[in-house]
Chains A and B, each alone.
Chain A
Amino acid sequence: MSELIDILSSAGLWAAVLRIATPLIFGTLGALLCERSGVLNLGIEGIMTFGAMAGWLAVFNGADLWTGVLIAAICGGIFGVLHSVLTVTLGLSQHVSGLGVTLFAASFSYYIFRLLVPVAGTPPTIEAFQPIAIPGLSDLPFLGAAFFTQTPPTYLAIILALVMAYILFKTPLGLAIRMTGENPHAAEAQGINPMVIRFGCIIVGSAMMAIGGAFLTLSAFNSFFPTMVQGRGWICIALVVFATWKPSRALLGALLFAFFDAFQFRLQTVLSGVVPYQLFLMIPYILSIAALAFMARRARVPQALMQPFRRGER
């Protein structure tokens, strides 16, 4: 029992929560934006992988860290265009298209990585983002070390969640996006082009997913290796449902989720030898499934989600 309290009261745990949450926040916000416009983007897992690879490779070849993030975002956007053409222009099954994008983006990133980075015993590394202490706030006892000594992308993720909440609910653009996800025909009748809105949301959303992936190689770790995304993309898709398609709740959901992840990681060391570590690693996936089951009927799903829009067809 005292061990539990030790874990909960260590600033390290809470710092880890924010760190673990960061890629989930980016990914969930990206998926949320796509779904608000009416398109499920299962390309997320592959796009995160590609973002992780592209960002890392850029920095490995001498670009600075922010340029790496930018390049990841651009690559994500390009995969967004691919997904848009399949699901919006052609109106194909969003499930299968998304899986296709994931398979392609993931295998393509491994191919490029293998092609450009020679095989070595230990994977090559880069200088990753360093934590930045926020002046003033980081001096607070406990809270400072826990929450205000993070790497810049983490701060960016939190700001992004707030910006997205504002855009979706307080601007005409956000209303246009929500209307497109609820009833694209109504949006069109009001002079909004649902195709353009969906393209835009998928491209920007995919860029966010890629940034989430890049965080893994540019901040959380300093190297790239295949399968490093480990289903985080699928967890983000579950988190969107859990967040009932609201950015502020997506932020909270990602943090809650990261809390369990960080907590189980520390519990592992305490209980090692007693309980197999794999049981702890299962927790995030099982939690996601539980969250889906809990929220699936409670949430108000965007009415046009997964329905292709064809002009003149109702």
Chain B
Amino acid sequence: MSETALELTGVSKKFGNNLANDDISLTLKKGEIIALLGENGAGKTTLMNILFGHYVPDSGHVTVMGKKLPPGKPRAAIAAGIGMVHQHFSLAPNLTVLENVMTGTQSIWSLFSNITAARQKLMTISKRFGLLVDPDARLGDLSVGEQQRVEILKALFNDAQILVLDEPTAVLTNIEAERMFSTLKDMARQGLSLIFISHKLDEVMATADRIMVLRGGKSVAERETSATNKAELAELMVGREVKRPVRDASMPGNCVLNASDWSMRADGVDRLKSVNFHMNEGEVLGIIGVSGNGQSALAQLLSGISKRSSGTLELFGEQVGNLTVSDTVKAGIARIPEDRNHEGVIGDMAIWENAILERLSEYSKNGLVDRKAGMAFADDIIANFDVRGATPTRRIAMLSGGNMQKLILGRNLMKPTKILLASQPARGLDEGAVAAVHERILDARRNGAAVLLISEDLDEVMALADRIQAIVGGRLSPPVDVKTANARMLGLMMAGEWNTPNSESNYAV
């Protein structure tokens, strides 16, 4: 039971001037579950990529079952029995489950694929660990939870003895996540060794035998789960005290936006099904839920870039039709898009051009762009929103994620804002930038804006929102008051369980 499955010795890796991993050592025993805990940018993913042969370490090495792995060779890692389950699935939606699992498992020059044997093996494994999927289904037709099962099956199909899971629950609902962790524990009982990466304290405490905490590329602590607690781990992980913004009590004013019975159908799929919500001045409405449940559709409708199939919208007391982008800009609806790099900015354009792109009519005369005013606006944003490393003529792609987000916030909030729509505003930002973004959102609320916050991060929603609704499968739950909400209740809401008769009464506003 105590034989060593995997050993990392003195691993270091540098990217430019950034020391992503600094002399990290780790030992994993057979049948053991280790959790790697750390914030974004702590070096977890780099470490796993070294382990799996995607990166070559600058120094240090990996030993599996007593044998040293050659660096930078994914094939050798697979052959040695390491299986990686990526956070963003490494799967091909147009191929079948079986094809996804089989890829690369047979000698590439053999004249035929042994499909029968592969199917047999897949069925055996999926029964043994209770990971049931249809081998002939097209992968793209499966739910996210099922796709993750395929990702795990793929590793097991390669006879993995050591499974590495990168944030396995990031895309799962609470219920799915619980099922996932019981499967993982079962695997460990059957002799597999597991490493999983997470920044969620609850699941780490509930699942791991041992916990290693990474911070700034260094291993700062290693604890037996039984000998630690969440408070200690949180402190180790962050390494400093971080203030969540303190907020004033909400003083909701008039209702500025009332959406009733919104439905949206796109590409033959019902993205939203008869959704109802309203927003008040000086109040934050939080929309929680696992991504892919209709958040994007909702944000697009309010951002004026798509049209609803049915339903009515009352804006500042007047019935209006579908919004266009220029409507939203004119009406003082500030929009923070879900995906900074793809929706929010145009990386190869200058900062000042990005600042005024959605207000070109305001910054132009007779079709000519008022460059001077645009630059001045960009300068104002940079100064007022503390955008670091920015000058108006620099390409915006040169900014870090946090500073880019500040610029996006700034170009909206520098103008009178009546409604703020923020989709995943803090996703992928470091703690400092998160605090700054949250501060701005609360500022807007204090100034009387009605805020819609769409987020997957429960802590974030709890910290900012006054009312909360959950979105599941395109449906929106009734709102609950944040003061009466607790994690368990919100978890159930995110799993779509707000209509069960015995719990309904709990959620009345």
**What is A's interface to B at a CB cutoff of 8 Å?**
170-176, 178-179, 182-183, 185-192, 300, 302-303, 311-312, 314
Instruction: Closest B residue to A178 by CB, please name it.
Output: B95
CB distance from B162 to the nearest CB of A (A): 15
Please determine whether B95 and A189 come into contact, CB atoms closer than 8 angstroms: no
Q: Report if B106 contacts A (CB, 8 A).
A: yes
Given the interface contacts A175-B99, A300-B94, does A187 sit within 8 Å of B113 by beta carbon? Answer: no
Please determine whether B100 and A172 come into contact, CB atoms closer than 8 angstroms: no
Please determine whether B103 and A179 come into contact, CB atoms closer than 8 angstroms: yes
State the CA gap A217–B75 with chains docked (Å).
46
Q: Report, nearest first, the 8 A-B pairs whose CB atoms are least far apart.
A: A190-B104, A182-B92, A186-B90, A191-B75, A172-B106, A183-B92, A189-B90, A179-B103
**What is B's interface to A at a CB cutoff of 8 Å?**
49, 52, 54-55, 74-75, 78, 84, 86, 88-95, 99-100, 102-113, 154, 158
Question: Considering residues A185, A311, A312, which has the most beta carbons from chain B within 10 angstroms of its beta carbon?
Answer: A185
Instruction: Closest B residue to A191 by CB, please name it.
Output: B75
A-B contacts besides A173-B109, A179-B95, A303-B94, 5 pairs, CB < 8 Å? A182-B92, A182-B95, A191-B75, A191-B104, A192-B104
Given the interface contacts A170-B113, A188-B74, A190-B78, does A175 sit within 8 Å of B94 by beta carbon? Answer: no
State the CA gap A303–B95 with chains docked (Å).
11
CB distance from A188 to the nearest CB of B (A): 7
State the CA gap A300–B96 with chains docked (Å).
13
Given the interface contacts A172-B106, A175-B113, A314-B88, does A191 sit within 8 Å of B78 by beta carbon? Answer: yes
Give every chain B residue within 8 A of A189 (Cβ-Cβ): 52, 74, 84, 86, 90
State the CA gap A282–B158 with chains docked (Å).
54
Give every chain A residue within 8 A of B92 (Cβ-Cβ): 178-179, 182-183, 186, 303
Instruction: Closest B residue to A175 by CB, please name it.
Output: B103
Question: Considering residues A178, A183, A190, which has the most beta carbons from chain B within 10 angstroms of its beta carbon?
Answer: A190
Instruction: Closest B residue to A312 by CB, please name it.
Output: B54
State the CA gap A191–B90 with chains docked (Å).
12
Contacting residue for B110 out of A172, A188, A192, CB 8 A: A172
CB distance from A151 to the nearest CB of B (A): 29
CB distance from A215 to the nearest CB of B (A): 28
Give every chain B residue within 8 A of A192 (Cβ-Cβ): 103-104, 108
State the CA gap A175–B107 with chains docked (Å).
11
CB distance from A180 to the nearest CB of B (A): 9
Give every chain A residue within 8 A of B74 (Cβ-Cβ): 188-191
Contacting residue for A185 out of B90, B93, B110, CB 8 A: B90
State the CA gap A187–B93 with chains docked (Å).
13
State the CA gap A300–B100 with chains docked (Å).
17
Give every chain B residue within 8 A of A182 (Cβ-Cβ): 92-95
Give every chain B residue within 8 A of A175 (Cβ-Cβ): 95, 99, 102-103, 113
Please determine whether A312 and B55 come into contact, CB atoms closer than 8 angstroms: yes
Give every chain B residue within 8 A of A190 (Cβ-Cβ): 74, 78, 90, 103-105, 154, 158
State the CA gap A192–B73 with chains docked (Å).
11
State the CA gap A302–B95 with chains docked (Å).
10
Please determine whether A186 and B103 come into contact, CB atoms closer than 8 angstroms: yes
State the CA gap A311–B52 with chains docked (Å).
14
Give every chain B residue within 8 A of A314 (Cβ-Cβ): 88
Instruction: Closest A residue to B85 by CB, please name it.
Output: A189
CB distance from B98 to the nearest CB of A (A): 10
State the CA gap A300–B109 with chains docked (Å).
27
Interchain residue pairs with CB less than 8 A apart (28) = A170-B112, A170-B113, A171-B110, A171-B111, A172-B102, A172-B109, A175-B95, A175-B99, A175-B103, A179-B92, A179-B100, A179-B104, A183-B90, A183-B91, A185-B90, A186-B89, A186-B90, A186-B92, A188-B54, A189-B86, A189-B90, A190-B74, A190-B104, A190-B158, A191-B74, A191-B75, A192-B103, A192-B108
Please determine whether B107 and A172 come into contact, CB atoms closer than 8 angstroms: yes
Please determine whether B108 and A302 come into contact, CB atoms closer than 8 angstroms: no
Give every chain A residue within 8 A of B54 (Cβ-Cβ): 188, 311-312
Please determine whether B90 and A172 come into contact, CB atoms closer than 8 angstroms: no
State the CA gap A191–B132 with chains docked (Å).
25
State the CA gap A303–B54 with chains docked (Å).
22
Please determine whether B100 and A186 come into contact, CB atoms closer than 8 angstroms: yes
State the CA gap A179–B108 with chains docked (Å).
13
State the CA gap A226–B110 with chains docked (Å).
42
CB distance from A163 to the nearest CB of B (A): 11
Give every chain B residue within 8 A of A300 (Cβ-Cβ): 94
Give every chain A residue within 8 A of B55 (Cβ-Cβ): 312
State the CA gap A185–B88 with chains docked (Å).
10
CB distance from B291 to the nearest CB of A (A): 17
Given the interface contacts A190-B103, A191-B104, does A171 sit within 8 Å of B113 by beta carbon? Answer: yes
CB distance from A193 to the nearest CB of B (A): 9
CB distance from B241 to the nearest CB of A (A): 34
Contacting residue for A172 out of B52, B91, B95, B108, CB 8 A: B108
State the CA gap A312–B107 with chains docked (Å).
25
Instruction: Closest B residue to A300 by CB, please name it.
Output: B94
Give every chain B residue within 8 A of A178 (Cβ-Cβ): 92, 95, 99
Question: Considering residues B89, B99, B103, which has the most beta carbons from chain A within 10 angstroms of its beta carbon?
Answer: B103
CB distance from A240 to the nearest CB of B (A): 16
Instruction: Closest B residue to A314 by CB, please name it.
Output: B88
Please determine whether B93 and A303 come into contact, CB atoms closer than 8 angstroms: yes
CB distance from A177 to the nearest CB of B (A): 10
CB distance from B382 to the nearest CB of A (A): 29
Instruction: Closest A residue to B74 by CB, please name it.
Output: A191
CB distance from B201 to the nearest CB of A (A): 27
State the CA gap A302–B306 with chains docked (Å).
27
CB distance from A58 to the nearest CB of B (A): 31
Instruction: Closest A residue to B84 by CB, please name it.
Output: A189
Instruction: Closest B residue to A185 by CB, please name it.
Output: B90
Please determine whether B94 and A302 come into contact, CB atoms closer than 8 angstroms: yes
State the CA gap A76–B84 with chains docked (Å).
39
Instruction: Closest B residue to A311 by CB, please name it.
Output: B54
State the CA gap A187–B91 with chains docked (Å).
8
Question: Considering residues B88, B90, B111, which has the most beta carbons from chain A within 10 angstroms of its beta carbon?
Answer: B90
Question: Considering residues B54, B100, B108, which has the most beta carbons from chain A within 10 angstroms of its beta carbon?
Answer: B108
Instruction: Closest B residue to A197 by CB, please name it.
Output: B108
Question: Considering residues A170, A182, A192, A312, which has the most beta carbons from chain B within 10 angstroms of its beta carbon?
Answer: A182
State the CA gap A241–B113 with chains docked (Å).
27
Contacting residue for B103 out of A187, A311, A312, CB 8 A: A187
State the CA gap A312–B20 with chains docked (Å).
14
Give every chain B residue within 8 A of A173 (Cβ-Cβ): 108-109
Give every chain A residue within 8 A of B113 (Cβ-Cβ): 170-172, 174-175
State the CA gap A182–B158 with chains docked (Å).
21
Give every chain A residue within 8 A of B93 (Cβ-Cβ): 182, 303
CB distance from A166 to the nearest CB of B (A): 9
State the CA gap A178–B89 with chains docked (Å).
17
Instruction: Closest A residue to B90 by CB, please name it.
Output: A186
Give every chain A residue within 8 A of B158 (Cβ-Cβ): 190
Give every chain B residue within 8 A of A171 (Cβ-Cβ): 110-113
State the CA gap A186–B91 with chains docked (Å).
6
Question: Considering residues B91, B100, B104, B111, which has the most beta carbons from chain A within 10 angstroms of its beta carbon?
Answer: B104
State the CA gap A34–B55 with chains docked (Å).
28
Give every chain A residue within 8 A of B106 (Cβ-Cβ): 172
CB distance from A117 to the nearest CB of B (A): 42
CB distance from B96 to the nearest CB of A (A): 10
